[in-house]
């Protein structure tokens, strides 16, 4: 028996749990409130994609399969049933020898999803047999998904379910009507699992986290079931969807399903709900909570307590979740792109909110963006160590809106000082503070990838967006990451208000060049969406858009609008995505931009060497006096020898440095070499006190002249490339 049951409804990710319930459970533990958590999504998927599940699916499907593809899948149903358990087991990280059988062919039944293989077969030379087998297995699952959508449940999707019903449904009518229908096949599986868990846990309060529109329908189905079968249990909804969409909630029918809906950070609201549910008091203070009183929807925010600081919310707790049963899939043969679906990642946040908080397309008026609060590096790495012990996984995805560069530096230094072996990646802004040296440090600490918003690759539009970067700056930062061995993914946008056709074409050319020179490895185009809580949504007249006003009784986020330019941006969708798909696989750079579109576009106005020229502009001879100097390498071997020339002789020293791959030899005057060896000891990353460039210069010039001449010498340049960093 537990006080609270925390639920993530179907469907979010296949490879790793969405972290909201783990965050909440970790916090509740600090308050001695007992909780059990479950990810219904993975549990339902595993029931469906099993020998028993597929047998039921094929047996329940309509026997009339009009398309050749559906006929093929149905005809091969025995092959699917026979192979499914082995494939899922392989994707869960077991039975890795099956990869050879999968790759050799004649093991997996193949339908239409495999038709793209001819174009992509070569791509796995750099990814290996295991990844190729994962990719083939993913196509196999997607074929089955196509069959389920056509013959069992049109709303099915691996990372979303009935998403259309949740997308900015200003009225609750359609969702409410859908909930009166008979249970779907997926509903029945979901509710059977839920019923068993409710009987085991016997909670007083069920908290359902709804991060995305694709979780909303299942959340309501679960709440509906609990109300009918377990009427004494109170049910609450929180998470990303209500935080952004349900701030103007008025429809009281919602409360036929839920007792409470909470907004923004969930720790204090859930703690107070627990007190409310477990107390006999009729009236208690609540935090940012909708509920029904006297048959009216009311919003209560009468608690005097402040929200908890990030240092006070505890370490995310992943216990109860079926961590060894998540499945890794690879949808696209691209190492960076696969990170979202491949591998089990512990999720953490370096900072609450966004330190920039100015982008005009973003929900900067909401707390999850505007309330910026970083966490101390030592606390973060403490939490990482706790989670490694708890989960057995040392991979971390920091899910920040944009991780702060200074904090990333401190976290990297802390990881190195504790000699932790971790793998991590995060979201960033393309700040100019991401120098090559900082990127080198992040790589040394285990950072493998970053993702960031380039948005529209046009300086005019970047200024209008208030992105705070230029295309040139993005190119240079992406180069710094790439050259240090960190992969880079760019979020790309088209259809921003006032964007012209020429700017869309020029933006594509910028993206083409960034991929061609190799500073981007992955990307994703999405069409601009105007949201109610962004500056564009709040002040549309300033951005040349005309919103379509609707009565809001339920969801309110995405706003339909007309751009005063009258341009149909939808027409660019296919061409932009097709070109990007090719660029991510290293092909198609020599195609004319016109080749990607089936309608006439103007020629680009961007010079073909624009990005190359951007990458040549950098000042290497400018070190701030306050910059910290760090040595990441080992202590060198030293050997003193005598050098003679024209009858004169003097002592020299040879320093030999080793890293994991190479050896570096430096020969300099003995006294300067001895100074350098002592300096390296002081500069080592293990030392908590970091010397500045000014302090190092002062120390050098107590014995010698002209530190800059020494610093910019060939010997020092080689040492800089070997792990002597300026931060």
Mind giving me the DSSP string for 420-464?
A: ---EEEEEE---TT--HHHHHHHHHTTEEEEEEEEESS-HHHHHH
Cα separation, 380 vs 397, in Å, equals: 13
pLDDT computed for residue 119 by the predictor: 53
Cα separation, 250 vs 559, in Å, equals: 18
DSSP code at position 684? B
Residue 126 pLDDT exceeds 60: no
Kindly list the distances between the CA atom of residue 666 and the CA atoms of 609, 637, 677, in Å, as whole numbers in the listed order. 37, 11, 12
Copy the structure tokens of residue 694: 């000014």
Instruction: Locate all alpha helices (DSSP H) within 185-327, ordered by sequence.
Output: 185-201, 216-229, 240-245, 267-278
pLDDT computed for residue 124 by the predictor: 55
User: Which are the contacts of 544, defined by CB distance < 8 A and separation ≥ 6?
Assistant: 497, 498, 563, 564, 565
C-beta atoms surrounding 48 within 10 Å: 23
User: Which are the contacts of 22, defined by CB distance < 8 A and separation ≥ 6?
Assistant: 37, 316, 317, 318, 321, 347
Question: Rounded to two decimals, what is the model's pTM?
Answer: 0.94
pLDDT computed for residue 127 by the predictor: 62
Q: What residue spans in the chain does CATH classification 3.80.30.20 cover?
A: 328-615
- The answer to whether the CB of 328 falls within 8 A of the CB of 339 is no
Copy the structure tokens of residue 427: 């979201």
Residue 400 pLDDT exceeds 60: yes
Model confidence over 203-221: pLDDT tens digits?
A: 999 999 999 999 999 999 9
Instruction: Locate all alpha helices (DSSP H) within 559-692, ordered by sequence.
Output: 573-584, 610-615, 670-683
Give 118's pLDDT tier (boundaries 50, 70, 90).
low
Instruction: Compute the average pLDDT of residues 81-98.
Output: 96
Kindly list the distances between the CA atom of residue 572 and the CA atoms of 262, 404, 462, 480, 523, in Å, as whole numbers in the listed order. 39, 34, 19, 31, 16
Kindly list the distances between the CA atom of residue 180 and the CA atoms of 183, 217, 219, in Å, as whole numbers in the listed order. 9, 12, 14
DSSP code at position 337? G
User: Which are the contacts of 127, defined by CB distance < 8 A and separation ≥ 6?
Assistant: 330, 333, 335
By C-alpha distance, which of 160, 182, 202 is closest to 35? 202
pLDDT computed for residue 425 by the predictor: 98
Is 3.80.30.20 the CATH number for 328-615? yes
Residue 111 pLDDT exceeds 70: yes
DSSP code at position 36? E
- The answer to whether the CB of 614 falls within 8 A of the CB of 476 is yes
pLDDT computed for residue 660 by the predictor: 87
Instruction: Compute the average pLDDT of residues 120-143.
Output: 80
DSSP 3-state assignment of 589?
A: coil
CA angle 212–580–477, rounded 5-degree value:
85
Residue 161 pLDDT exceeds 80: no
* Least trusted range by pLDDT, from 268-282, 392-406, 465-479, 607-621: 607-621
Specify the CATH architecture of the domain 4-41+161-312. Answer: 3-Layer(aba) Sandwich (3.40)
Instruction: Compute the average pLDDT of residues 402-427.
Output: 97
User: Which are the contacts of 133, defined by CB distance < 8 A and separation ≥ 6?
Assistant: 90, 98, 99, 100, 102, 103
Q: What residue spans in the chain does CATH classification 3.40.50.2300 cover?
A: 4-41+161-312
State percent of the chain over pLDDT 70.
97
Model confidence over 440-492: pLDDT tens digits?
A: 999 999 999 999 999 999 999 999 999 999 999 999 999 999 999 999 999 99
Cα separation, 344 vs 158, in Å, equals: 17
Cα separation, 31 vs 47, in Å, equals: 35
Find the radius of gyration of the CA atoms of the chain. 29
């Amino acid at each position: 028996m537990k006080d609270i049951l925390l639920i993530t409804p179907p469907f979010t990710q296949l490879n790793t749990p969405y972290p909201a319930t783990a965050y909440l459970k970790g916090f509740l533990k600090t308050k001695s409130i007992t909780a059990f958590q479950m990810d219904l999504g993975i549990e339902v998927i595993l029931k469906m994609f099993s020998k028993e599940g597929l047998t039921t699916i094929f047996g329940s499907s309509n026997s009339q399969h009009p398309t050749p593809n559906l006929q093929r899948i149905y005809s091969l149903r025995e092959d699917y049933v026979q192979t499914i358990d082995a494939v899922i087991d392989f994707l869960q990280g077991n039975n890795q020898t099956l990869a050879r059988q999968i790759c050799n062919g004649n093991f997996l039944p193949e339908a239409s999803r495999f038709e793209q293989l001819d174009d992509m077969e070569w791509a796995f030379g750099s990814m290996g047999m295991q990844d190729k087998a994962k990719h083939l297995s993913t196509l196999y699952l997607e074929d089955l998904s196509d069959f389920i959508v056509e013959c069992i449940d049109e709303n099915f999707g691996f990372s979303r379910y009935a998403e259309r019903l949740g997308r900015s449904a200003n009225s609750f009518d359609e969702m409410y009507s859908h909930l009166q229908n008979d249970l779907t096949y997926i509903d029945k599986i979901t509710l059977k699992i839920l019923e068993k868990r409710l009987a085991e846990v016997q909670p007083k309060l069920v908290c359902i986290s709804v991060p995305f529109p694709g979780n909303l329908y299942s959340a309501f189905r679960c709440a509906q079931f609990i109300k009918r079968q377990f009427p004494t249990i109170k049910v609450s909804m929180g998470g990303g969807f209500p935080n952004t969409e349900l701030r103007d909630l008025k429809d009281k029918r919602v409360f036929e399903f839920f007792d409470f809906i909470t907004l923004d950070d969930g720790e204090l609201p859930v703690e107070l709900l627990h007190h409310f549910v477990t107390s006999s008091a009729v009236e208690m203070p609540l935090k940012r909570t909708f509920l029904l009183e006297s048959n009216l929807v009311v919003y209560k925010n009468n608690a005097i307590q402040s929200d908890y600081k990030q240092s006070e919310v505890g370490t995310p707790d992943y216990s109860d979740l079926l961590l060894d049963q998540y499945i890794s899939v690879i949808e696209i043969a691209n190492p960076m792109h696969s990170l979202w679906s491949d591998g089990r990642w512990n999720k953490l946040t370096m900072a609450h909110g966004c330190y920039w908080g100015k982008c005009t397309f973003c929900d900067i008026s909401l707390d999850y963006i505007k309330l910026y609060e970083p966490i101390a590096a030592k606390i973060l790495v403490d939490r990482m160590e706790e989670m490694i012990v708890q989960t057995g996984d040392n991979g971390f995805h920091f899910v920040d809106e944009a991780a702060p560069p200074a904090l990333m530096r401190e976290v990297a230094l802390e990881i190195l000082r504790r000699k932790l072996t971790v793998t991590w990646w995060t979201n960033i802004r393309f700040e100019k503070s991401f120098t090559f040296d900082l990127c080198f440090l992040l790589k040394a600490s285990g950072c493998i990838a970053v993702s960031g918003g380039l948005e529209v690759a046009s300086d005019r539009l970047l200024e209008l967006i208030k992105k705070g970067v230029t295309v040139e700056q993005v190119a240079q930062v992406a180069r710094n990451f790439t050259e240090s061995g960190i992969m880079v993914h760019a979020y790309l946008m088209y259809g921003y208000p006032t964007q012209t056709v020429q700017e869309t074409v020029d933006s594509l050319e910028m993206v083409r060049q960034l991929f061609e020179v190799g500073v981007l490895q992955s990307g994703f185009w999405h069409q601009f969406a105007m949201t109610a809580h962004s500056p564009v949504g709040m002040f549309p007249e300033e951005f040349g858009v005309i919103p379509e006003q609707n009565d809001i009784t339920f969801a309110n986020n995405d706003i339909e609008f007309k751009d005063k330019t009258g341009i149909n941006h939808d027409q660019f969708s296919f061409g932009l995505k097709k070109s990007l798909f090719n660029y991510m696989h290293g092909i198609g750079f020599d195609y004319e931009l016109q080749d990607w579109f089936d309608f006439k576009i103007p020629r680009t106005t961007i010079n073909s060497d624009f990005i190359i020229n951007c990458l040549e502009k950098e000042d290497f001879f400018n070190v701030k006096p306050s910059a910290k100097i760090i040595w990441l390498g080992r202590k060198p071997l030293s050997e003193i020898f005598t050098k003679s020339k024209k009858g004169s002789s003097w002592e020299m020293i040879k320093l030999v440095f080793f890293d994991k791959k190479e050896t570096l030899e430096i020969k300099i005057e003995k006294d300067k070499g001895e100074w350098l060896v002592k300096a390296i000891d002081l500069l080592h990353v293990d030392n908590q006190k970091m010397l500045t460039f000014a302090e190092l210069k002062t120390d050098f010039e107590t014995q010698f002249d002209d530190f800059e001449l020494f610093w910019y010498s060939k010997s020092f340049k080689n040492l800089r490339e070997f792990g002597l960093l300026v931060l």
